[in-house]
Amino acid sequence: MVYTSMGCTLVFGQMVDKIVAKVDNYVVLKSELEVAYIQFLQSQEAKFAPDKSKIKCTILESLVINKLLLAKAELDSVTVDKQAVESQLDRRMQYFISQFGSEKKLEDYYKKSVDDLKADLRRQVRDQMITEKMQGQITSGLKVTPGEVEKFYKGIPKDSLPFFSTEVEVGQIVRTAEISKEQRAIFLSKAEDIRQRLLKGEDFCALAKRYSEDPGSAKQCGELGFFKKGDLVKPYESMAYKLQPGETSEIVESEFGYHIIQLIERRGTEYNTRHILIKPGSSLRDLSNAEKFLDSLRTMILRDSITFEKAAKEHSIEKVTKNNGGMFLNEDGSSRIPMEKIDPGIFFVIDTIKVGDISRPVRFRTEDNQDAVRIIYYKTKVPAHQANLKDDYQKIYNATQDEQKNTAINKWFDKTKDEVYIDVAKEYDSCDLLKKDK
């Protein structure tokens, strides 16, 4: 089975290593093959692979096919809309940001701005979209019938049928504690007290290390390093451009909290600042109000006054699950998630309720360290089992469809591979990629 649709991975500044295949002006790197191989082994499709001894060869073939699709698209002037690329790029970046917890955490990890990361990823996204467009043209019209799904399933030797661990469908509705005016006033006063101490001559570095709630910069005396216009949130940036070197700002409020900013240096349009960040914290009363709201919402759902999906879309503040009607999704986009991949905080909640139930409000801390409350919906549970048509029809359907697409693309490859230059490293001669009628 050929793995023909590699996902767009977050790999920036990849070093050129050993070339294992050339397709016209495109190359396949050894590292690219290894990453794709690991991804495939972790995928659902790998469980249905009939001959696991040849997986690396099929992965290499899929990468060569993808490069051939790009080369042929170039020859045939097949393109994708630039706006569509940017839209897809924005969606990918939002996904990566959600995985890291915040835009700043992503930037801190890669030591690059989001704009720079997008620039690194743009070609990868464009190439994948062209590849998918070419694949779509080749496989258009393919339809999978229930009979073909059953035939595919029955064609798998019983001792080779994949074994699936216990899977669950779980959803959440999340609310953060809305910080009251009184609480905000307390933290604003704290920030102003620190500012007054700075104006009286106390050391910025010492106060940043002691009070700043931006852990990344606090260790560096509050220093953020050089940024250009558009890199930082607007309130912060606007103030930074108004300051003179060494000058300390008024209190600046942004989505992250209250900032005390000091300009260190300006180089053209770039600037280097340091700051002390004070984050307003919620009170027990604020958190209690969020709990009461979710408890009322839970009652409405249990009384069928509103569906869980509708309630999540209208009231949850957690963007990723909100857009899925509150449901967590697996890597393959399905809502059935292996139990071992469930977050421990979620696991301990569903362990105390029955399938079909919705938990009472549970307090937790979000990835960006906010006080929050959520209710958990334990929709279904599928015990560990060997693959069967009743419990795994969608997975088997997808595997059948993948096989049909792979067959069509392999036939196209055999007809097209002589139209462009293709060379594969000798160490992969045993894969017989270029052999006729493999």
CATH number at residue 88: 1.10.4030.10
Please give the residue range of the domain that contains residue 266: 181-278
Tell me whether residue 244 is in a domain: yes
Q: Which residues of 100-126 are buried (b: 16+ CB within 10 A; e: fewer)?
A: beebbebbeebebbbebbbeebeebbb
Other Cβ atoms closer than 10 A to 286: 18
Q: Is 237 exposed, middle or buried (0-12, 13-18, 19+ CB in 10 A)?
A: buried
Asked if residue 372 and residue 322 are part of one domain, the reply reads: yes
Tell me whether residue 4 is in a domain: no
Which phi and psi (to 5°) does residue 89 adopt? -60, -45
Tell me whether residue 126 is in a domain: yes
pLDDT of res. 58: 87
Tell me whether residue 57 is in a domain: yes
Amino acid at site 155: G
Asked if residue 320 and residue 171 are part of one domain, the reply reads: yes
Could you tell me which residues come within 8 angstroms of residue 241 by beta carbon, excluding any fewer than 6 positions away?
271
pLDDT of res. 178: 73
Choose the final residue of a domain: 230, 263, 278: 278
Asked if residue 138 and residue 109 are part of one domain, the reply reads: yes
Asked if residue 316 and residue 172 are part of one domain, the reply reads: yes
Tell me whether residue 2 is in a domain: no
Asked if residue 297 and residue 244 are part of one domain, the reply reads: no
pTM of the model: 0.58
Phi-psi region of 390 (alpha: psi -120 to 50; beta: other; left: phi over 0): alpha
pLDDT digits (tens, 9 = 90+) for 97-142: 767 767 778 888 888 888 888 888 898 899 999 999 999 999 998 8
Asked if residue 270 and residue 354 are part of one domain, the reply reads: no
Choose the final residue of a domain: 245, 278, 311: 278
pLDDT of res. 8: 46
Asked if residue 293 and residue 257 are part of one domain, the reply reads: no
364: domain CATH number is: 3.10.50.40
Asked if residue 320 and residue 211 are part of one domain, the reply reads: no
Asked if residue 153 and residue 39 are part of one domain, the reply reads: yes
> How far is it, in rounded angstroms, from Cα 148 to Cα 139?
16
Signed CA dihedral, 176, 179, 184, 187: sign only: negative
Tell me whether residue 10 is in a domain: no
Percentage helix, strand, coil, to 5, in the chain? 50, 20, 30
Q: H helices within 229-355, ranges in order?
A: 234-242, 284-302, 308-315, 319-322, 344-350
The tokens of 323 are what? 């857009």
Residue 431's beta-bridge partner residues?
Answer: none
Tell me whether residue 1 is in a domain: no
pLDDT of res. 160: 85
Q: Report how far apart the first and last C-alpha atoms of the chain are (Å, whole number).
A: 13
Phi-psi region of 165 (alpha: psi -120 to 50; beta: other; left: phi over 0): beta
Q: Which residues of the chain have pLDDT under 50?
A: 1-16, 438
Tell me whether residue 256 is in a domain: yes
Q: Are 207 and 276 in contact (CB under 8 A)?
A: yes
Asked if residue 128 and residue 92 are part of one domain, the reply reads: yes
Number of structural domains in the chain: 3
Asked if residue 251 and residue 266 are part of one domain, the reply reads: yes
Asked if residue 69 and residue 33 are part of one domain, the reply reads: yes
pLDDT digits (tens, 9 = 90+) for 371-406: 889 999 999 999 999 999 998 998 899 899 989 998
